[in-house]
Amino acid sequence: MPDTIGSLTRHAAAAACLTLALVVPAAAQDPGPSPVAAPSAPAFMSRYDFHLSAAGLSSPDERFSWDTHFGGDMDIVDYVGGRVNILVDYQAMLGSEYRPFDPNQGNYTLEASASGRAGGTEIAGVFHHVSRHLSDRPKRFAVAYNAFGARVLRRFVAAGTTVDVRAEAAKVVQLSYLDYRWTAAADLLIRRPINKVAGVYGRGAISFYGIDPSVSDRTRQRGGRFEAGVRLDGQAGAVELFAGYERRVDANQIDLLPMQWGFAGFRFTR
């Protein structure tokens, strides 16, 4: 007997709760490329994804009221056996410390990767850069790190439901102010269409940061993010309406302390 909408909702909620149980002890993950099928022939500029999002935060700290992102990733060339991808993301964190909408952080993520496909699994070498800046506040020193690592991507499809799995680990090769030695992360995205326009999804991400004992006496840091929502597909793009929970490692670049909050927002994407 086919699944009803009610049973699909219950299944999605159960999957979301399981993901949340895995995520709560752990840190948010940066955006990254999604698994894609290999083309039939080599292609130049074969795919791109764009995102623009804003989420209101439930934090009592007046520095953290809104979390916004703008960016995307692009496959420069897909050579069937793999692809070369670049990613750019700009995050503006807004508070209410000095004005109702007070952008106090501007954070950049830049990434380049090259991959190879083995059956339905994609394995990529990745260069990852994060640079964090303050807005309308004095800070002359750099807060940043560079890392080299590997990423594994895989998509599973069953009865109209897609499950995207991503796992990665990297060694930090350069850092400023921070104390990271290595990073590791995993991401799980479950999508289920309801009709040609609407669908539901749940996503969980976990991240770990190993600490260099020669730099600081902190223990390994961990955080995570879970969100669930509705996706509405249009002719040239889509909008996602979502809510969730996050525990973010080093939420403020000066304090270097984890923080947690609930959130709700929207995302324009393609």
55-72 tens-digit pLDDT: 999 999 999 999 999 999
pLDDT value at residue 32? 74
Q: Where are the domains of the chain?
A: 5-48+69-224+246-261
pTM for the complete prediction? Answer: 0.85
Percentage of the chain beyond pLDDT 70 is 89
pLDDT interval class at 25 (50, 70, 90) = very low
- Taken in order 145, 178, 142, 256, the sign of the CA dihedral is positive
Per the structure block, which two tokens stand in for 208?
Answer: 């770990």
Query: Is the pLDDT at 247 greater than 80, yes or no?
Result: yes
Rounded average pLDDT over 239-261? 96
Query: Is the pLDDT at 95 greater than 70, yes or no?
Result: yes
Count CB-CB contacts under 10 A for residue 29. 21
DSSP states along 50-65? EEEEEEEE--SSTT-S
What is the average pLDDT score of the chain?
A: 89
Instruction: Output phi, psi for 41, to 5 deg.
Output: -150, 160
Query: Is the pLDDT at 17 greater than 60, yes or no?
Result: no
What span, in angstroms and rounded, lies between the C-alpha atoms of 56 and 78?
37
Percentage of the chain beyond pLDDT 90 is 82
- Own/partner pairs, 38-46, CB within 8 angstroms, 24+ separation: 38/78, 38/80, 38/81, 38/117, 39/78, 39/80, 40/80, 41/80, 42/77, 42/78, 42/79, 42/80, 43/77, 43/78, 44/76, 44/77, 45/74, 45/75, 45/76, 45/77, 46/75, 46/77, 46/78, 46/83
Per-residue model confidence as pLDDT tens digits over 131-154? 999 998 988 899 999 999 999 999
Higher local confidence (pLDDT), 24 or 198: 198
